[in-house]
Amino acid sequence: MVTTLMKALACCKVAVIGDLMLDIYIHGDVNRISPEAPVPIVRWKSQRAAPGGAANVAANIAAIGATSILVGIAGDDDAFQELSALLQSIGSVDLGGVVLTRNRATTKKLRIVGHAQQMLRIDREDVGPLEETVEKELIVNALAAIDRCDIAVLSDYGKGALTDRVIAKCVARARASGKKVIVDPKRQDLSVYRGATIITPNRAELTAATGLPCETDEEVEAAAMKARKATDSDFLLTRSEKGMSYISGAADAIHLQTTAKAVFDVSGAGDTVVAFLAPCLAVGLPIIHAMKIANHAAGIVVGKFGTTVLEPDELVVALTAPDLEDVQDGRILSLDEAARLRLAWASNGYSVGVTNGCFDLLHPGHISLLAQASAACDRLILALNSDASVRRLKGPTRPVQNEASRAKVAGSIKGVDAVVLFDQDSPLELINTLHPDVLVKGADYLEHEIVGADIVRARGGRVERAAIVEGQSTTRLLARS
């Protein structure tokens, strides 16, 4: 059923009209305060870029195989070139509707992150009124995109692309052609979106628009019904840790609890909701089923750091996670199986750790390392060097025990939830695939020597150095024999 659904979603075309952004994250370590001023010094470790705003919506739609036609405004600058390259690398994003202008810069948000904590954000943006010629071109492109698509999304971040005229023209064209239009709003005056099929504010936005609290289910329903009078639209309210609610004039309200067990970062969660809601409604799913899928998608992204594009496999695993619950402790998995299991665990709110090594002749040092690694996370994957890998690293007389024996013994130890064999000399590919929340290695390695540490930290994870049991090693054991 899920496979059929994903195939159907991949056939959709979605017009995404709104404010394009480029999100930049600079990750680093913070170990001291500057002597020049009372500010922390961030030692640069890594940098990544991601589509933001309407571009993030388009990217998530494209990531599941659907086609998104993106319409908005961007500067004729390096930021747009970088954003364009990112989008093209993700999937089918048609950028022909983007209006380039030399009078405005592409909106760019630069975030400085130290130890997975956002410390500073610098915004580069132009939010002044659009030139008349730019607005006219934007409207022409938006209407053409709606004509070509199954459904439309208006992603309003208040950066200037969605003027009153643009919104009115888009809503009118969608309604005239019998197509749904979903609005992710920014305005306090929601009446500007009048006629939209569904408006998707968060709690703070609906409270600002109506002056009413939005904490309990009853309060949400009252606020949404007030907003409906001004918009003639249904409302899907995203409520962070309280899930989401749908209020229409035609049926009872629907309230869904969040699927996220841990909320790490809510950046882009609203984008993810509309990105999955739109194609689901376009293929004819009832609102309750579309909400459940969007809820699962949002539950995954809030467990990650920063603006993130959801991978199709992540959604499939989230929707089929119960199928993986029968995995037994110590099961030997392929890397693909381990990746699916890691996603299933994440969808259930579990932190996932990885440690790696040869684990040839098991000794107290190994037991101590695995115990410390297991204590650092909810679920532990042991990455075990294959026989060929061990021979390259340790010499022709190693390993003493073959990989099947080593995996069976290590997998039976309490706290080891799965074992994965890898044939490379380095576990870098495996770590890049599994994206662990915690990477554990012995304290005999300095942190900068630990393979994959930069990948884990860049995702907001952490690196743990386990205490060493002195005098314990396979090499020493063999020397005594």
Summarised one tens digit per residue, pLDDT across range 352-365 is 999 998 887 777 88
Whole-number pLDDT of residue 196: 97
Whole-number pLDDT of residue 320: 62
Return d(Cα 322, Cα 39) in angstroms, integer.
47
Whole-number pLDDT of residue 295: 85
Whole-number pLDDT of residue 127: 87
Summarised one tens digit per residue, pLDDT across range 135-164 is 999 999 999 999 999 999 999 999 999 999
Whole-number pLDDT of residue 471: 54
For the residues 191-196, what does the mean pLDDT come to?
97
Checking if the pLDDT of 476 tops 60, the result is no
Across the chain, what does the average pLDDT equal?
87
Selection from 44-48, 297-301, 397-401 with the highest mean pLDDT? 44-48
Whole-number pLDDT of residue 249: 78
Whole-number pLDDT of residue 359: 85
Checking if the pLDDT of 401 tops 80, the result is yes
Confidence of residue 10 (pLDDT cuts 50, 70, 90): confident
For the residues 4-29, what does the mean pLDDT come to?
91
Confidence of residue 343 (pLDDT cuts 50, 70, 90): confident
Rama region for 5: left / alpha / beta (φ>0; ψ in -120 to 50; rest): alpha
| Active-site option among 94, 271, 360, 417 | 271
271 flagged as catalytic: yes
pTM of structure: 0.70
Look at 412 and 254; give whichever has higher pLDDT.
254
Checking if the pLDDT of 477 tops 80, the result is no
CA-closest candidate to residue 151, choices 34, 61, 60: 61
For the residues 435-461, what does the mean pLDDT come to?
86
Checking if the pLDDT of 461 tops 90, the result is no
Return d(Cα 64, Cα 285) in angstroms, integer.
16
